[in-house]
Amino acid sequence: MYETRHQVALHQDENRQTGVDCGIKADTKGAMAAVHINVPANPRKALGDIGNVVGDRRKNIPEVPQGAKNAVPQVDRPITRSFNRSFGAQLANKGALQGTCDQVAKLDATGNEIPEGHPARMKSALNNQKVGATLRERRGRTLTATLTARSEAACGILKEEPLPDIDAGDSNNQLAVVDYVEDIYSFYRRSEVKSCVAPDYMSRQANINQNMRAILVDWLIEVHLKFKLMPETLFLTTNVMDRYLAVRSVERKNLQLVGMTALLIASKYEEIWAPEIQDLVYISDETYTHDQILHMEKTMLNVLSFDLCVPTPYVFVVRFLKAAESDQKMDMLAFYFVELCLVDYTMVKYSPSLLAAAAVYTAQCTLRPRDTQWTKLLKHHSGYAESDLMECATRMVRLHEKAKEGDLTVVRRKYSLEKFGTVARLEAPTLPSTISV
């Protein structure tokens, strides 16, 4: 059998220790056999013979007597001035202080043990904590840090105060995924491009126009409200519908079928209990059959390559409202502005994150006109300066004013209800004329 690496190394080491080379000899039949040599059981020298233990005569270091408890251990390393003055002194002081505190904490003057909870023992424990804090403070004051701080102060470079952590309150909430939330939204910002559509895709549709799309989205918002679906479902519905219309030509008679099927797909993705197909047939006044809806579902999913994990304005609105320290009324007002944008075709040119940031900014201008609207914290989490939001925010204000007298009134009626804070009845805000870059 072949020898293992450990056995080969062991044999080579034994040969070097004994000074005998293993030879190979042939037996009478020509077969090769290894010569076995008896070696001592422990051929290595003891550690005490190689000069690396305490008490080595070559270094004139006295041996530590056995039984000595508080003796400072000797370290076998080059002795330098910095070691003698700093590290060695710190080891000695730390050991002495720690030993003294422990002794006082447990023993009295006569050597008897102090019971737990005694005032003297509690006082000693407090002193021990103070000593530990002092040692940690000394270790933290490095020469490099001191010189760097002095240089920055001399050059007029002042470090900005760190921004508050908006996720600190959710540290115990596992659903908030505090450890990964920054990476998740960084991924959303990189991947939101694929969820956008060309702003002129309706020009390539021969049978439908943007007014028909607005009527369809307005109807879908009402159906979404009647079915009491999640808000994520509504935003994914419009996203699926726009992405399909951007690549496939649709006849006018099938436009409502596309919207219904998009709602069904989004419900299956976001909801626990999605609406049944028979319910969709009923709300369409039996314009389409069960088989037509299933066939359109297969077609749309194949065209979209089953890509439904896309960031919508909803995920960004939730994040930016958290950074704005909003209340329930501001939450409702921000979502009101975003849903107004869903109906208007001209707003598809804005990315989901920009729509969300502009909605939060417009809601702030409405409810907090005297406060600083776009703080450093919001700029950090959104990635937009206040000047980047003005165009989109101005369009939102116009949509809010037009909703009072337009034909498409579902969004306004929805947010005029008490459970939505009646935010649609608020006056349109006046955006600031001076913009901070």
Task: Give 142: exposed, middle or buried? Use CB within 10 Å, 0-12, 13-18, 19+.
Answer: exposed
pLDDT tens per residue, the chain (437 residues)?
A: 445 545 555 555 555 544 444 444 444 444 444 444 454 555 554 444 444 544 444 445 455 555 544 554 554 444 444 444 444 445 455 454 444 444 444 555 555 666 655 555 555 555 555 555 555 555 555 666 676 767 766 776 555 677 888 888 888 888 888 888 999 999 999 999 888 999 999 999 999 999 999 999 999 999 999 999 999 999 999 999 999 999 999 999 999 999 999 999 999 999 999 999 999 999 999 999 999 999 999 999 999 999 999 999 999 999 999 999 999 999 999 999 999 999 999 999 999 999 999 999 999 999 987 776 788 999 999 999 999 999 999 999 999 999 988 788 999 999 999 999 999 999 888 887 655 44
What is the SS3 assignment for 151?
helix
* Residue where one domain finishes, among candidates 257, 284, 303: 303
Buried b (16+ CB within 10 A) or exposed e, 377-408: bbbebbebebebbeebbebbbebbeebeeeeb
Judge if 27 and 96 occupy the same domain.
Answer: no
| Residue 125 in domain | yes
Residue 377 lies in a domain: no
Q: Using the 8-state DSSP alphabet, how is residue 67 labeled?
A: T
Torsional class of 117: left (φ above 0), alpha (ψ -120 to 50), beta (otherwise)? left
Structure tokens at 101: 């505190």
Let me know whether 222 and 284 are in one domain.
yes
Find the domain containing 222 and state its range: 196-303
One-letter amino acid identity for 173? Answer: N
Tell which residue, 350, 355, 359, has the closest CA to residue 321: 359
Q: Do residues 34 and 90 both lie within one domain? A: no
Do the domain assignments include residue 54? yes
Q: What is the number of other CB atoms lying within 10 angstroms of the CB of residue 16? A: 11
DSSP tally for the chain: helices H, then strands E: 17, 2
- Asked whether residue 272 is domain-assigned, the answer is yes
Q: Are 5 and 30 in contact (CB under 8 A)?
A: no
At residue 113, what are phi and psi to the nearest 5 degrees?
-75, 135
Q: Note whether 57 and 88 are same-domain residues.
A: no
φ, ψ dihedrals at 24, nearest 5°: -120, 130
H, E, C per residue of 327-383: CHHHHHHHHHHHHHHHHCHHHHHCCHHHHHHHHHHHHHHHHCCCCCCCCHHHHHHHC
Distance CA(260)–CA(21), nearest Å, equals 88
Q: Are residues 201 and 231 in the same domain?
A: yes
- The residue among 246, 279, 303 that closes a domain is 303
Residue 298 lies in a domain: yes
What long-range pairs does 147-152 form, CB within 8 A, spacing at least 24?
Answer: none
In a domain, 46, yes or no: yes
- Same domain for 87 and 43? no
Q: Same structural domain for residues 296 and 261?
A: yes
What was the pLDDT predicted at 369? 78
For residue 365, give the nearest of 405, 339, 334 by alpha carbon.
334
Within 271-325, where are the H helices?
A: 277-283, 290-303, 313-323
What is the Cα–Cα distance from 331 to 321, expressed in whole angstroms? Answer: 7
Residues 289 and 236 both lie in one domain: yes
In this structure, the answer to whether residues 119 and 206 fall within a common structural domain is no
Give the tokens for residue 275.
């609406």
Does the model's pTM come out above 0.85? Answer: no
CA distance 130 to 15: 59
Of 97, 122, 151, which residue sits at a domain end?
Answer: 151
| Three-state DSSP state, 138 | helix
**What is the predicted pLDDT for the residue at 166?**
87
Rg, C-alpha atoms of the chain = 38
CATH number at residue 250: 1.10.472.10
213 and 299 together in one domain: yes
Sign of CA dihedral 167, 173, 176, 179: positive
Beta carbons of 295 and 282 less than 8 angstroms apart: no
Spatial CA neighbour of 259 closest among 288, 232, 231: 288
For residues 356 and 338, is the Cβ–Cβ distance under 8 A?
A: yes
Phi-psi region of 67 (alpha: psi -120 to 50; beta: other; left: phi over 0): left
What SS3 class is residue 32? strand
Looking at the fold, whether 58 and 88 belong to one and the same domain comes out as no
Q: Is residue 421 part of a domain?
A: no
H helix or E strand, kind and range, residue 24: strand 24-26
Cβ contact 270:233 at 8 Å: yes
- Residue 325 placed within a domain: no
Q: Does one domain contain both 299 and 212?
A: yes
Instruction: Work out how many domains the chain is built from and give that number.
Output: 3
The pLDDT value given to residue 194 = 84
**Amino acid in position 360:** V
